[in-house]
Amino acid sequence: MAVRPDGRAGGGDRAAQPPRRDRGTRRAPARRNGTPVTLSAERQAASGIATLDDLREHLQWAIELEHATLPPYLCALYSLDPERNPEAVELVAGVFIEEMLHLALAANLLNAVGGRPRLDIPRMLPAHPRPLPHGDRSLELSLLPFGEEALDMFLRLERPAPPGAPPEAEDYETIGQFYDAIEVGLRRLCDTLGERAVFGGDPARQVHGGHFRHTGGRLIAVTDLASALAALEEIVEEGEGTSRGEVWDGDRDVHHPERDEVAHYYRFQELRIGRRYQRGDTPESGPTGGAIGVDFEGALPMRRNPRLADHPKGSAIRTAQDEFNHTYCAVLHLLEQAFNGSPRMLAVATGTMYGLKAQAQALMRMPDGEGTTAGPTFEYVDPELRRWSVGDRKRIVVLRNGPYLVYGGVPLRRKRKIVSAENDALTWKTDEDIPTEGTYALCRCGGSGSKPFCDGTHAVNGFDGTESADVRPYSELQHVHDGVGISAQRVGELCIHAAFCIGRTRPIAKMLDDTADSDVRSNIMGRIDHCPSGSYSYALERGGETIEPDLPQAVSVLEEEGGLASALWVTGGVPVLRADGEPLETRNRMTLCRCGHSSGKPLCDGTHREIGFREEPTTEGAGS
């Protein structure tokens, strides 16, 4: 499913859209307005990109540049009243989606040349107002509500390079000139080192169209010079227009597939002037098409460049701003995971981003001074304060209203319950291992089309993942039932009704009366060992050491009788952290809800049985 940052479904698969107009191929050798650039001029222009390390550094700057546009666009987008400004919402949302695409393309470029994209770092979120990374210092980006001042800032940001403008690797005047410098540097390094030496990155780190389907643009996997140039062309043309001389970006409008799409700069001109571009229009003519209704009063009056320090600790506004910052930094963390070996995490990052809308709009409705409201501050939260995002240790993290993130390469497998002819529970059979990335996300809402993996559906199906599990330790909740040579302990709140404790003729509670018979006692011990949630446990005597089965550190996707999709069985003491970063009690056995309906989230309570939860398993691996 394709989704948009305004929270509505849209976009769809590329195959369902009208065919893309052919752009042709990237020019070679490099040209400026049809004039070939001499080799000596290229070398001079690429003086900042003379080595592979220089190239990697500049591509990291490209990631930071593309990200720098996101907070201003989000503030403008979320301040808009969609009833009074539906066309403005579509236009700003479309630009934001494509800036996310450009960010992913920049990460693909950096990965292709052997770099490591960094996003969860403090310099991604300096205080606003702020300049573009390594660009023209006179251009400042501010956090503003939608309005004329915001549009002027966006037009300055997206303006095309003037005719004959040279490539600029640093202190660039326009974004197009910066990417021209990267192109020149790429060509030069391929000429001097050879294409294979330049593109030595791991292809498995590339994100592609299968991971990002939210725009008419192309998410290109970069593996060689041709695909690298195509990625650069995608970035520049969506911002400036095709061939540096047209208003069109070569795509169809993702909101209105019958229309050709104009580049970012010209979209903001449409809003500024109040009229659409139509076929035949040029940058010189301006837009001459139909009118666009823009209501500059139809936006929430957010205070410009809000900061946490503007409000005392513990105040409602500061608390809400801090929660927003935690969510936004979670997005940065997930993007970094996606671009560093877990590309299918991109859908999780995108889904988490939708949580920002409600948080931002709640802030923008909180009075903050005379005639203004509060707003998000986009300030960096140190990972140590987030706790769950630190380190590579094995752990499972519950994302707020989102999936389970599994870190540390915890194996994922399927287990199937074996039953008798009368459907009595007998044992578990381990089936195939499921291929995963180093970090992967498991569906918690029950709606993913790629179960057991998350595909971002929680962002659009209204999933409420509020956690309500009793967090008291097992020892405080347990009820003890003694027999001969065995003391059974049970916490009913953990039961998922897998029925190993029932037996063919009588439950464990009754069998304890006959535990002088060692066969009965052994039967009870075996049944308790098969209890997936650990609701039942046992010791040899009351107060004695609990005896647990020797289980590996793993997550098992359980299937019960009749193909019923059951819980996620976490074994071997893998820690589970709640969405607030606090740990649940670490136990040898734990079962997590994956149907989305448990009354004790994140733990399973057996509701999957009541609703007849089923899974159509994916055969394509993690999160495809």
> Is the pLDDT assigned to residue 340 strictly greater than 80?
yes
Q: How confident is the model at residue 41 (pLDDT cuts 50, 70, 90)?
A: low
Q: Which residues contact 120 (CB under 8 A, 6 or more apart)?
A: 329, 332, 333, 335, 336, 383, 389
Contact 534, 494 (CB under 8 A): yes
For residue 17, is pLDDT > 60? no
pLDDT band at residue 165 using 50, 70 and 90 as cut-offs:
confident
Identify the domain boundary among 336, 358, 384. Answer: 384
CA dihedral 311, 316, 321, 326 (to 10 degrees): 130
* Residue 417 belongs to some domain of the structure: no
> DSSP characters for 156-224?
HHHPPPPTTPPP-SSSBSSHHHHHHHHHHHHHHHHHHH-HHHH--S-GGG---TTT--SSSS--PPP-S
Which carries the bigger pLDDT value, residue 417 or residue 25?
417
Rounded distance, CA 157 to CA 172, Å? 12
Cα separation of 308 and 302, whole Å?
14
Pick from 364, 384, 404: which residue ends a domain? 384
Are 536 and 481 within 8 A, CB to CB? Answer: no
Domain that holds residue 101: 47-298
Range in 228-232, 421-425, 566-570 with the lowest mean pLDDT: 421-425
pLDDT tens per residue, range 250-287 = 776 666 777 788 889 999 999 999 999 998 899 999 99
**pLDDT number for residue 36:** 44
List, for residues 435-449, the tens digit of each pLDDT value: 999 899 999 999 999
* Residue 517 half-sphere exposure toward CB, CA atoms < 13 A: 8
Q: Do 268 and 332 belong to one domain?
A: no
**Residue 253 confidence (pLDDT):** 67
Q: What is the mean pLDDT of residues 576-596?
A: 94
Residue where a domain terminates, one of 326, 360, 384: 384
Based on the fold, state whether residues 283 and 378 are members of the same structural domain: no
Q: What is the mean pLDDT of the chain?
A: 88
Q: What percent of the chain has pLDDT over 70?
A: 89
Does one domain contain both 170 and 206? Answer: yes
Does residue 341 sit within a domain? yes
Largest interatomic CA distance in the chain:
96
Amino acid 387: pLDDT: 75
Please tell me the total count of domains within the chain. Answer: 2
- CA nearest neighbour of 478 among 488, 469, 486: 488
Q: pLDDT per residue over 355-389, tens digit each?
A: 899 999 999 999 998 899 999 999 999 998 987 88
Predicted pLDDT of residue 473: 94
Instruction: State whether 99 and 209 are in the same domain.
Output: yes
**In the numeric block, which tokens belong to residue 21?**
């107009």
* Residues 333, 279 share a domain: no
Q: Note whether residue 532 is domain-resident.
A: no
- Asked if residue 255 is part of any domain, the answer here is yes
Look at residue 10 and tell me whether its pLDDT is greater than 60.
no
Q: Does the pLDDT of residue 30 top 90, yes or no?
A: no
Q: Are residues 178 and 110 in the same domain?
A: yes
Measured CA to CA, the distance from residue 438 to residue 412 in angstroms comes to 11
Answer yes or no: is 282 within a domain.
Answer: yes
Q: How far is CA 130 from the centre of its chain?
A: 25
Residues 277 and 322 in one domain: no
Mean pLDDT value of segment 219-244: 87
Q: Kindly indicate the confidence band of residue 213, based on its pLDDT and cuts at 50, 70 and 90.
A: low
| Cα–Cα distance for residue pair 177/48, rounded to 1 Å | 13
Residue 138 has pLDDT above 50, yes or no: yes
Task: Say if residue 402's pLDDT is above 60.
Answer: yes
Portion of the chain with pLDDT greater than 90, in percent: 74
Is 558 contained in some domain?
Answer: no
What is the average per-residue pLDDT within 583-590? Answer: 96
262: CATH = 1.20.1260.10
Give domain status of residue 580, yes or no.
Answer: no
In this prediction, residues 498-507 reach a mean pLDDT of: 86
Same domain, 211 and 350: no
